[in-house]
Structure 1
Amino acid sequence: MSADDGREPGTTRPSGKPNHQPTKQLGPVTLRRQQVDGGSTTDQRLLDTGGPTDWLHADPWRVLRIQAEFVEGFGALAELGPAVGVFGSARTPADHPSYTLAEEAGRRLVDAGFAVITGGGPGAMEAANKGASEAGGTSVGLGIELPFESGLNPWVDVGINFRYFFARKTMFVKYAQGFLVLPGGLGTLDELFEALTLVQTRKVTSFPVVLIGHDYWDGLVGWLRGTALAEGKLSEQDLDVLTVTDDVEEAVATMVRAREGRFPSPPPRRAE
């Protein structure tokens, strides 16, 4: 691609590979491409004292680190605007249909005026970030320290790495207006059921959850209705927030309806 092809500096080449643009690190926050403003960076780092470090592992210090994670997350995402969380397996290969769906979802969400938030990892998360970034939208990755599947994918433009799952989960729920869930494993199921629990307990309202892929999700939804609901472990309204579809356009349209206030909030729960 020539330098005079009409593209702004730092945009993505049609080859599908991200340009190697400067990366700006603001503490745990990573900025790439158009998110890098070229301004000042963190002025100073604390100097090593050379003294004992046992105090680093005390619970009071952990509280301060937890506090810092919330402060950094709130500060980085406070002006994000409407956003949708996209979840899916980190083990999804690039040639898998779920990768293509996630990439399309990221692109269409941006076209509909949403930022895209993922776990920042590889697989389906990378695909959604790629679609969002290539579409010129805000591509957010909320990473987590793990002994495997760690590190932010190269399509994340605003990235935050967390030590603590609960701080990271708060950012997903606080700044996403709904979740698109592609086929995934335990981590994906964890996010899915946490969202359903928060809706059930009225911690969040008008929060749509769209499962993409009938072949993958119908068995789970069938068990929820045929077993958990049939035995009285759930109420029908607990599952009203769930939509299963193979159509990315339908999934995005559900998020648009929620943004416009046309997604039904669950009615007040009666005492049983």
Structure 2
Amino acid sequence: MDRHLGVIGGSGLYNIDGLDGADWQAVASPFGAPSDQILTGRIGDLTVSFLPRHGRGHIHSPTTVPYRANIDALKRIGVTDVLSVSACGSFREAMAPGDFVIVDQFIDRTFAREKSFFGTGCVAHVSVAHPVCPTLGAAAADAARAAGVTVHDGGIYLAMEGPQFSTLAESKLYREVWGCDVIGMTNMPEAKLAREAELCYASVAMITDYDSWHPGHGAVDITAIVETLHGNAAAARRMVATLAQSLSPDRAPCSAKCDRALDHAILTAPDKRDPALVAQLDAVAGRVMG
């Protein structure tokens, strides 16, 4: 099977460099319009597609990002592996602005988003106990280090609804009681949807600030965040180029079984499934539903 790397760019990352034969294409999804067109080209022997999560010009808030359409559109054009790149705040002194964290766990505190492709008429339950692909995550970590970034392997990402930043009390709760490492607004339900779509998913959180808990930094300053974003975005572009060059274009089955997440997940009997919903799931679940 050919590997096709999809990159979802967060705040500050609205384009990537070095794609040969790159072309923006509109991709229709039964789950609505994606955040933007998708830029597809090649880096070496690997096909790479890039989707700006918030759209070029940053038109979508974290809540209004069309997460289902984004993941469906990437799967629909043949993407097999998704690298999520997003800005975040840090709850750890050692995880400083400018550092990258290879996220391995999430706590989902979002509440105003569609979180599944499935529903009434076709019910499915996938496991997200281990919500990211360890193989893709390790490759991203190596690529980030090669790009000159300080990388932290593993971290718990608190996904908040936003768009406001945390109160001081919330920041202390997430850090001191819940043991979270970073905080952001966009990796959920994205990671859950990628698992339902049987895509390998890795999350690279680019630290921009210390949220509001840090006594030496005060409240989150959007001006300082934007300055750090520019540096992070440049490093992210180098990371993507290095990652693409390191991945084999021939994709073996995922050792973590991300690509077989739906094997036993669909519970609705075939004769009870809603034909309209089944038709919407042609890209996401076509492997198991025919």
TM normalised by structure 2 equals 0.28
TM normalised by structure 1 equals 0.29
Higher relative contact order (CA 8 A, sep 6+): 2
Bigger proportion of residues as strand: 2
